[in-house]
Every structure is written in structure tokens, then in C-alpha cells.
Structure 1
Amino acid sequence: MSTETPDLRTITLTRDSQGRYTARNRRGGSISVSSGTDELSPVELLLAGIAACTAVDVDTVTSRRAEPESFEVEVAADKVKDEHGNHLQDITVTFRVRFPEGDGGDAAREMLPKMVQRSHDEWCTVSRTVELGTKVTATVE
């Protein structure tokens, strides 16, 4: 895999202290991650990635009709350990969106279910990758 590919996405994770890390992208953005603290855990970051990816898709289209009064996406999953090791199952994505009364709000409300479905079926790279089951390769340099 070439690092020169324009569509390549990368994150570099560095250890800050035992159990605490910072993930950084090439643009300078960062987020802290840990286990057993108030910060987001790696599993929660995966769920947040699904939520954010689909929220961007849906918000981009629906907010052209009306600015939402409230916009919340909850992603939940059961963490299990079985013959396949640790993994998530039964991931659910729930949108709670309210638009104002009026023609714009009516148009946004009408298209909301369609945009949620399109995001799930086509647009959201994160949930599409999870659902399709992409191979992950680990190496040591």
C-alpha cells in the first residue's frame, strides 16, 4: 500500500503513558484515547466513527432544506467474547432529529429516512467497511 495514494487515510497513534494514547491525522487533528478512564475507548471511537460518518451524510443533505432544531445520532452495540474472540454485534444506529415547522422543515423531515438509508447503503465509509467485513493486516517494523 503506497503512502502516495491520494485517497489513502492514515492515523498515527502514539503512547502518552500506560493505557493513554493520542491519535493524529496528517492534517494535525488529534484525539485522546484510553481504556478505563473518562476518555473515549477504542470501541467507543469505532462507534463514534460510525455515528459521525452517517451524521455528516444525512446532515449535509437535510440541512439544505432546514436547519435542524436538534440533531443526535446514537450508536449502540453489544460487546461479546466468543469463539471468534472479542467483537461487537448487533450494531444499531438511531437518529433523533427535529426540524422546525414550515415548508423547509417538512421537506427535511420527508427526506430524512431516505438519506439515513442511503448513508447506510452507499455513502458512510465507516459503517460500510464494518458491514462488508474488511481484512485488517497487522505488521511489526
Structure 2
Amino acid sequence: MTDNSLRTVTVERTAPGRFVATNVRGGTIAFGTGSDADDTAFTPVELLLAALGGCTAVDVDVATSRHAEPTRFTVTVSGNKVNDELGNRLTDLAVAFSVAFADGEGADRARAILPRAVKTSHDRLCTVSRTVEIGTPVTSTVEDA
């Protein structure tokens, strides 16, 4: 691995059931358990769904918007949370694109490449969905115990 291949975020507890993730550029996102009805913060599962949709959305946006700006670009990501002999996990993950372009030659090109862009992102480009599908092992350790 090269120095620029490492990706890191730091997660810190801010209150009971509340956390903030910080990336190396200083960006932050708050999240929590979602156990409080008034808690609108994302849960870790929702962040995973957002990462799946966001990763492919970025790839598809780059490919299509060079030809035309979309008039609608929505990605809906869903999955069923199950608890079985394998433990807690999501099944039936689905990423659905709803993208529209105005009329015109560039828009026609963007519409034409949209299915290929979604497939290419899913099959080769999106690090998040590729990692989930391949099943990369996760190591958890305790430091300074």
C-alpha cells in the first residue's frame, strides 16, 4: 500500500449514544443510536446506506454531468436489517437511481450513458459497494487497555 491509499476517520463519543466522526480534512458528521424518537441524527446503518448510495452517485454524476446537468438526481438505498445465526446484518441491499435530464443533445448523451455509468460504478469503481460485496474482513482491537 502507498501512503495515499490509507483512508481514516476518527470516531469520538460526545454524549451517551452520540458520536462524531472526523475525517483527515477536518470534516465532521454527527451520528447516534437513533433510539430517541426526537433524535434525527443518522445511525451507523443509515451512514452505511448513505455511503453505498453516495459512492455510486459520485461516480455516476461525474460521468453524466459532463454532458448535461440533471434536472433530478435522487438515489434511494434500502436494505433489510436481520438478526439470525450470522448475527445482525443487512440483506437485500438495493441502490435505485432516479435521474432526469432536460432536452438536448448533451442530455441525450447523458441519458444514454446513465445505465453504463451505474453498472461500471457498481462493478468496478465504487469502493464502498465493492468492499461490501467482496466481504473484506474487519479487525477490531483495543488499544491502551
Q: TM-score range by the shorter chain?
A: over 0.9
Measured in 2, the distance between the counterparts of 1:5 and 1:63 equals 31
Aligned to 1:25: 23
Match runs of 1:43-54 below 5 Å: 43-54=45-56
Equivalent-residue separation in structure 1 for 2:24 and 2:114 (angstroms): 33
* Number of equivalent positions: 139
Structure 2 unaligned regions, length at least 5? none
Measure, in 2, the Cα distance between the counterparts of 1:82 and 1:132.
21
- For 2:69, what is the secondary structure of its paired residue? coil
CA distance in 1, matches of 2:31, 2:41: 6
Percent identity for Structure 1 against Structure 2: 54
Q: 1:5 offset after TM fit, Å?
A: 2.4
Match of 1:41 among 31, 40, 43: 43
Once the two structures are superposed, residues 86-108 of structure 1 have per-residue CA deviations (whole angstroms, 9 ceiling, x without a partner) of 00011000000000111111110
DSSP-derived class of the 1:32 partner = strand
Counterpart code for 1:104: G
TM-score by length of 2: 0.93
Q: CA RMSD for the aligned pairs? A: 1.1
Question: How far, CA to CA, are the matches of 2:117 and 2:134 in structure 1?
Answer: 20
Q: Report the TM-score, using the length of structure 1 for normalisation.
A: 0.96
CA deviation digits over 1:31-62, x for unaligned, max 9? 00101221100000000001110000000010
Runs of 4+ that moved beyond 6 A: none
